[in-house]
């Protein structure tokens, strides 16, 4: 893995070559430092840019180190809390004479039914799949409702809007106008969902993260910085589902 030397500190990073005009650097809790460089940029030029950006990268790393990001993977046991739109709801599991697992939301709590003979590992795996499907189905409806509000405010219409699994990003807007949002966002408060939606819709007007872009976001959501900060501090908590698979955690 390549390294940037910043004083006596070594900063490790991952490098990705892409068809793009500028160099992009991201720093996050999951993947660390990632550099997305134009395919045409030579190694010497790349190193020069990274050295200039080293102090900024260190500052971002230090900010992340301040964030408490201990994540408790979902165990799928009765009494456990599951999040939806920023609120926590209790889970109740019934072991019955049934052939499969399913989850439904009923009277302010999640109700799950699983076969009596299943081991806890099988219950956990199957209910995790059911819960992700539930989030995607119900989350898509909610996000479409919120998107329609901001599309009208901003006078934009994406070619498509889809929830999908994205480990590295909360949202993506393509050059063709397709918007993809991380399905885990449906666990976050609505104001946070709104921020990511507006962020991606703003890219339909301005693709670069320049002053014009942030002016559009600020005009639409004057208090967007609070939601952006929420994601910085609490974003890892939205990875409770599939956490073991994603991070190779063993019991």
For residue 28, the model assigns a pLDDT of: 72
Dist CA 220 CA 114 (whole Å)? 45
The reply to whether 107 and 143 lie within a common domain is yes
For residue 248, the model assigns a pLDDT of: 45
The reply to whether 92 and 183 lie within a common domain is yes
For residue 245, the model assigns a pLDDT of: 55
The reply to whether 145 and 56 lie within a common domain is no
For residue 54, the model assigns a pLDDT of: 92
For residue 70, the model assigns a pLDDT of: 62
Give bridge partners of residue 90 from the DSSP assignment. 81
Both tokens assigned to 218: 């600020």
Question: Distance from CA of residue 98 to its chain's centroid?
Answer: 34
- List CB contacts of 207: < 8 A, sequence separation 6 or more: 173, 175, 213
Question: Distance from CA of residue 111 to its chain's centroid?
Answer: 26
Q: Can you give the residue range of the structural domain that contains 168? A: 81-245
Report the chain (251 residues): mean pLDDT per 10 consecutive residues: 85 84 79 84 88 90 67 87 95 92 93 94 92 92 95 96 82 91 94 96 90 94 93 83 53 33
For residue 161, the model assigns a pLDDT of: 95
Pairing, β 109-115 against β 102-106:
antiparallel
What total number of domains does the chain contain?
2
For residue 250, the model assigns a pLDDT of: 32
- pTM flag (> 0.85): no
Provide the 8-state DSSP code for 210: S
The reply to whether 86 and 188 lie within a common domain is yes
Angle, helix 190-202 to helix 120-154, in steps of 10 degrees? 60
């Amino acid at each position: 893995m390549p390294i940037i030397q910043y004083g006596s500190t070594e900063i490790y990073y991952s490098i990705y070559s892409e068809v793009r005009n500028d160099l992009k650097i991201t720093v996050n809790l999951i993947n660390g430092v990632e550099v997305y460089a134009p395919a045409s940029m030579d190694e010497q030029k790349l190193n020069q840019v990274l050295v200039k950006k080293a102090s900024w990268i260190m500052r971002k790393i230090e900010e992340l180190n301040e964030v408490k990001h201990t994540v408790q993977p979902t165990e799928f046991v009765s009494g456990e809390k599951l999040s939806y739109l920023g609120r926590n709801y209790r889970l109740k599991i019934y072991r019955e004479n049934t052939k499969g697992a399913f989850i439904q939301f009923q009277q302010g709590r999640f109700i799950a039914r699983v076969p009596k003979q299943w081991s806890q590992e099988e219950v956990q795996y199957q209910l995790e799949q059911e819960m992700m499907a539930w989030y995607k189905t119900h989350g898509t409806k909610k996000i479409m409702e919120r998107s329609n509000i901001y599309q009208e405010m901003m006078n934009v219409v994406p070619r498509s809007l889809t929830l999908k699994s994205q480990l590295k990003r909360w949202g993506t807007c393509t050059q063709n106008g397709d918007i993809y949002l991380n399905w885990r966002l449906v666990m976050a408060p609505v104001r946070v969902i709104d921020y990511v939606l507006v962020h991606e819709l703003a890219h339909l007007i301005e693709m670069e993260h320049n002053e014009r872009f942030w002016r559009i976001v600020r005009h639409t959501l004057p208090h967007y910085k609070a939601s952006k900060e929420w994601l910085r501090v609490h974003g890892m908590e939205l990875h409770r589902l599939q956490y073991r698979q994603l991070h190779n955690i063993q019991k």
